[in-house]
Amino acid sequence: MPKTFFTADWHLGDARAMELDKRPFASLEEQDREFIRRWNAKVNENDRVYILGDFSMYSDRKTTELVAQLKGHKHFIRGNHDRLSEKTLAALFKTAESYEEINLDGQHVVLCHYPIAHWRGQRYGYVHLYGHTHCGEDAAFFEQYRKWCREQGIRFYAYNVGCMFHNYEPVTLKEMMEQQAVREAAEDITEEIVEGEYTDESGKDE
């Protein structure tokens, strides 16, 4: 059965992004090869992949050469660092939008390059996928807001699909939700330890 994957913030051809994210590649050329290899190791020809912006700083011609090596049906959400022409976008991707909403196995998903504090259907369990923030202060602020909403009992199913958070490979919604559940469980344990309420299996306070 075909799968749906998501990714963002590849910044192909952008040496500054490699430094900003401390990416584990020796050169832009090595990064290109690894992105293609890791993509094709997970994605099959019948799968679809949504790229949520800031994809390539290369020329239209070189970007086209790289995209041609990627498996699957590719969809694009524009970011603030995308410079590809409309003609190239139309040739490379099934769709190219600034914002999109899709239904994924009964789950409503809101797609945008930028994180949205209050997206459509948030309180009804709609999921929001985004990129843009990398590992900077914006990411920290948005994470703090997510935690505050969670503490207030407000549904806040938002996931950063930036490649730097997912081993530089496309990721499914299920994978992201599972990763978030693990992180939230760790947060709960940490909060209990800080408050002096955590006990080991014997029931004694740690």
Whether residue 204 is predicted with pLDDT greater than 50 in this model: the reply is no
> For 28, how many CA atoms within 13 A lie in the half-sphere containing its CB?
13
DSSP conformation class of 168: T
Q: What are phi and psi of 132, to 5 degrees?
A: 75, -45
Residue 146 lies in a domain: yes
- Identify the band that residue 195 occupies on the pLDDT scale cut at 50, 70 and 90: low
Return the DSSP state at 199. Answer: B
Domain contains 202 = no
Q: Specify if 200 maps to a domain.
A: no
How many structural domains does the chain have? 1
Per-residue pLDDT reduced to its tens digit, 98-107: 999 999 999 9
In what side-by-side order are the strands of the sheet with 107-112? Answer: 99-104, 107-112, 127-130, 158-160
Does residue 115 lie in a domain region? yes
Answering whether pTM is above 0.85, one says: yes
Position 204 in a domain: no
Q: Which residues are within 8 A (CB) of 154 and not within 5 positions of it... i.e. 6 or more apart? A: 122, 123
Q: CATH number, domain at 60?
A: 3.60.21.10
Residue 36's pLDDT is: 98
167-180 b/e with 16+ CB inside 10 Å = b? Answer: ebbbbbbeebeeee
Is pLDDT above 80 for 176?
A: yes
**Are 8 and 115 within 8 A, CB to CB?**
no
Tell whether 112 is covered by a domain: yes
pLDDT of residue 179: 87
Helical (H) or strand (E) element with 86: helix 86-92
Minimum mean pLDDT among 27-31, 66-70, 176-180, 183-187: which range?
A: 183-187
pLDDT of 196 reads 54
pLDDT tens digits, 145-171: 999 998 999 999 999 999 999 999 999
Note whether residue 163 is domain-resident: yes
Mean per-residue pLDDT, 110-136:
94
pLDDT tens-digit readout, 13-55: 999 999 999 999 999 999 999 999 999 999 999 999 999 999 9
What range does the domain containing 50 cover?
4-194
